[in-house]
């Protein structure tokens, strides 16, 4: 029993972390379908055997990439809720984070939308992982909107997600400063609706 508990908390092997970090960078900057396993192996400086020991297929690595990006956002919101007493400030902090991301050098759009766009079948495991992320995200925003007393928290969450998606798309293909400003305006309108 003690051995099982120890193995449950063992950190991942450094080579596994390196493979995922390499894939994360390449998948995001160049596109999932354009980056092959051999390219990841070479860039991560690991052997093919090491790659397949940790990830039995490219699809499993792609899912790990999507789940890693999902985990980052979950951790951000958990931390924001722990630090900030007011759910309005949590929403504002998230809006700032999205805006910073959308205006940074090297920004290539939303990694979840980008991943979904490369897998047409909604039943594909990558699409399932993206859908799970978006469902969780919508539920979390709805809970925050409910906490601030928004009269229609579900609709407000949908509006926020649409504004977020628009800001991330606009940040990549349009004027990132204007997209960020529009996201902030949309957020403040939604927050004001809770006070009306």
Q: What is the dihedral of CA 94, 99, 102, 106, to 10 degrees?
A: -100
| Residue pair 111/28 in contact by the 8 Å Cβ criterion | yes
Pick the CATH number of 9-56 from 2.70.150.10, 3.30.70.1400, 1.10.10.60, 1.10.3720.10: 1.10.10.60
pLDDT of residue 4: 54
**With a cut of 50, which residues of the chain have pLDDT below it?**
1
Q: CATH code for 63-193?
A: 1.10.357.10
pTM for this one?
A: 0.88
pLDDT of residue 6: 53
pLDDT of residue 195: 84
pLDDT of residue 61: 96
H helical segments located in the chain: 2-9, 14-30, 37-44, 48-54, 58-83, 87-103, 111-117, 125-147, 153-173, 176-193
pLDDT of residue 3: 52
- The C-alpha atoms of residue 196 and residue 183 are separated, in whole angstroms, by 20
pLDDT of residue 5: 53
**Domain range annotation of the chain:** 9-56, 63-193
pLDDT of residue 41: 96
């Amino acid at each position: 029993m003690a051995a099982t508990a120890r193995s449950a908390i063992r950190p991942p092997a450094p080579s596994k972390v390196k493979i995922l970090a390499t894939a994360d960078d390449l998948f995001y900057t160049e596109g999932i379908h354009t980056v092959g396993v051999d390219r990841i192996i070479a860039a991560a400086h690991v052997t093919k055997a090491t790659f397949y020991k940790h990830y039995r297929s490219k699809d499993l690595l792609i899912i790990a990439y999507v789940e890693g990006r999902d985990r980052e956002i979950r951790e951000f919101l958990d931390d924001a809720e722990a630090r900030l007493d007011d759910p309005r400030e949590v929403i504002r902090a998230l809006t700032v984070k999205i805006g910073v991301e959308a205006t940074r050098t090297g920004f290539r759009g939303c990694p979840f939308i980008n991943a979904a766009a490369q897998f047409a079948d909604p039943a594909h495991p990558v699409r399932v992982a993206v859908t799970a992320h978006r469902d969780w995200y919508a539920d979390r925003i709805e809970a925050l909107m409910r906490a601030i007393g928004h009269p229609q928290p579900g609709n407000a969450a949908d509006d926020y997600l649409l504004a977020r998606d628009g800001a991330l798309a606009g940040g990549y293909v349009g004027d990132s400063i204007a997209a960020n400003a529009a996201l902030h305006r949309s957020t403040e309108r939604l927050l004001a609706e809770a006070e009306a």
